[in-house]
Amino acid sequence: MNKVKVISIFLVYHSLQELQIETIKSLRGISSSICAILKGMKKNFNNVHIGIKGPLLDTLRVNFSDAVDFKSYPFSLPLIQNLQEIRFPHQVTFFVGENGTGKSTILEAIALKSGFGSEGGSKNIHFKTSQEKTYVGIEQLADQITLSWNYKPFNGNGYFFRAESFFNIANYIDLLAQNGGPELAYAPYGGKSLHEQSHGESFLAFFNNRLGNGGFFIFDEPEAALSPQRQLSLMIIIHEICKNPHAQFIIATHSPILLAYPGATIYSCDGDNLKTIAYTDTSHYQITKDFLDDPERHLKYLFED
């Protein structure tokens, strides 16, 4: 090897070393800057969270426009016509009432306004299986409400669970599994298709695996496929998630078991105006307790000619 080649190799090697050193310095500088930014973000993020009082959603307000047709559903419901404001002082809020009073209607409007799909799911799931006119009324109601947040959750932190359309959600997840791989699609739902489990098992698999440890959750009749024992399991799940102060559940239910959740706000949808009600004053509790105290008397009364 001649002298010129040796010098050339040395210069190249030296240049590479200098480049490497400068690159490392630059990366260290960038890394330090990123660390400083992240520390600042964490500090600000923590400060925001520390300053929060109450659950994520604070208040729902209604302001009907002149274009609203109060003869069409859901504006024809007396409860909706008289609705002005709903406050959410606690992490868990229940809406109770007879069928057709408007409790699910209120939840659907909140869900739409919060960015969830019409048929339930996460904020990344949006599909419709019925004719467009099926959704018009709820969409119009959602346009009339304003949500005031103490802290608005990130897009991925939350879920709108509808017992009525959970079958459609299961179909949608199966479709995602076919197109993108089952492991990724089924991971948040217990690792397998919801259709490969019983109705109640699929509900519980969802509650156990999909909710995470915080977020904004809207449940419409989650007890529909759950036995009394499984309803108690759901209460435990809700309790564990609510250890995170930035978790909130808004639930429409007929279950006297779920309604017993301690510290929850209960709104009664029976009557023309929404009102708070004590657990033991709900018809769900009173009718169930009265029946279990003396089933023979009730059955005799129900079946007498």
Q: How far apart are CA 268 and CA 103, in angstroms?
A: 9
Q: What pLDDT is recorded for position 154?
A: 66
Residue boundaries of the structural domains of the chain:
1-51, 55-296
- Kindly report which listed range (30-34, 185-189, 225-229) carries the lowest average pLDDT score: 30-34
Q: Tens digits of per-residue pLDDT, 118-129? A: 887 777 776 666
Q: How many CA atoms lie within 13 A of 1 on its CB side?
A: 7
Confidence of residue 215 (pLDDT cuts 50, 70, 90): very high
The structure's pTM equals 0.79
Q: How far apart are CA 221 and CA 254, in angstroms?
A: 7
Q: Has residue 31 got a pLDDT over 70? A: no
Q: Tens digits of per-residue pLDDT, 132-188? A: 666 789 999 999 999 999 998 765 689 898 888 778 878 888 888 888 788 888 887
Q: Are 267 and 94 in contact (CB under 8 A)?
A: yes
Instruction: Categorise residue 121: left if φ over 0, alpha if ψ from -120 to 50, beta otherwise.
Output: left
Kindly state which CATH superfamily the domain 55-296 is placed in: P-loop containing nucleotide triphosphate hydrolases (3.40.50.300)
Average pLDDT score over the chain: 82
